[in-house]
Amino acid sequence: MQTAALVDPADVETFRRDGFVHLKGLLDADEIAGLGRAVDAAVTVRKRNDTRALADKSPYEQSFIQCQYLWEDFPDVRPLTFHPKIVGAAAALIGAEAMRLWHDQALYKEAGGRETDAHQDHPYWPINELRTLTAWIPLVEVDDETGCMGYAPGSHTGAAEYVNIFTEPGSGEALVAKQKHKPVFVPAGPGDVLFHHGLTVHLAKANRSDRTRRAYTAIYFADGCTRAAKGGHPSLDREAISVGAVIDGRATPIAWPLPDGRYPEPAPWPAAYGQSRTMERAARMGVFPTVGAT
Ligand X SMILES: O=C(O)CCC(=O)C(=O)O
Shortest gap between Cβ of 194 and ligand X (angstroms)?
9
Alpha helix positions (H), the chain = 9-18, 29-46, 59-63, 70-73, 78-81, 84-94, 172-178, 234-237, 271-275, 277-284
Instruction: Select from 127, 204, 236, 283 the one that contacts ligand X (CB under 6 A).
Output: 204
193 binds ligand X (CB under 6 A): no
Range list of β-strands (E), 97-183 = 99-109, 116-119, 132-138, 149-151
Give the Cα separation of 88 and 27 in Å (integer): 12
Give the Cα separation of 80 and 222 in Å (integer): 19
| Residue 112 to residues 38, 54, 246, Cα–Cα distance (Å) | 24, 8, 42
Give the Cα separation of 178 and 191 in Å (integer): 33
> CB-based burial of residue 36 (10 Å sphere; 0-12 exposed, 13-18 middle, 19+ buried)?
buried
87 binds ligand X (CB under 6 A): no
107 binds ligand X (CB under 6 A): yes
217 binds ligand X (CB under 6 A): yes
Task: Kindly state the number of chain residues that form the binding site for ligand X, as judged by CB under 6 A.
Answer: 11
Shortest gap between Cβ of 116 and ligand X (angstroms)?
4
Q: Which is nearer to ligand X, 146 or 290 (CB)?
A: 146
| Residues with Cβ within 8 Å of residue 191, at least 6 apart in sequence | 24, 25, 26, 27, 28, 29, 32
DSSP-assigned letter for residue 286: T
Instruction: Select from 73, 121, 192, 223 the one that contacts ligand X (CB under 6 A).
Output: 121
Query: Do residues 64 and 70 lie in contact, with contact meaning Cβ atoms separated by under 8 Å?
Result: no
106 binds ligand X (CB under 6 A): no
In sequence order, the β-bridge partners of residue 103 are 219
Q: Which is nearer to ligand X, 132 or 290 (CB)?
A: 132
151 binds ligand X (CB under 6 A): no
64 binds ligand X (CB under 6 A): yes
Q: Convert 152-174 to b/e letters by CB count within 10 Å (16 or more is b).
A: bbbbbebeeeebebeeebebbee
215 binds ligand X (CB under 6 A): yes
Q: Which is nearer to ligand X, 178 or 250 (CB)?
A: 178
Q: Which is nearer to ligand X, 100 or 119 (CB)?
A: 119
Q: Which is nearer to ligand X, 136 or 221 (CB)?
A: 136
200 binds ligand X (CB under 6 A): no
Shortest gap between Cβ of 73 and ligand X (angstroms)?
21
Query: Do residues 172 and 165 lie in contact, with contact meaning Cβ atoms separated by under 8 Å?
Result: yes
68 binds ligand X (CB under 6 A): no
186 binds ligand X (CB under 6 A): no
Shortest gap between Cβ of 109 and ligand X (angstroms)?
6
Q: Which is nearer to ligand X, 212 or 252 (CB)?
A: 212
In sequence order, the β-bridge partners of residue 21 are 195
Instruction: Select from 136, 216, 269, 288 the one that contacts ligand X (CB under 6 A).
Output: 136
Shortest gap between Cβ of 171 and ligand X (angstroms)?
14
Q: Given the rule CB under 6 A, which residues bind ligand X?
A: 64, 107, 109, 116, 121, 134, 136, 202, 204, 215, 217
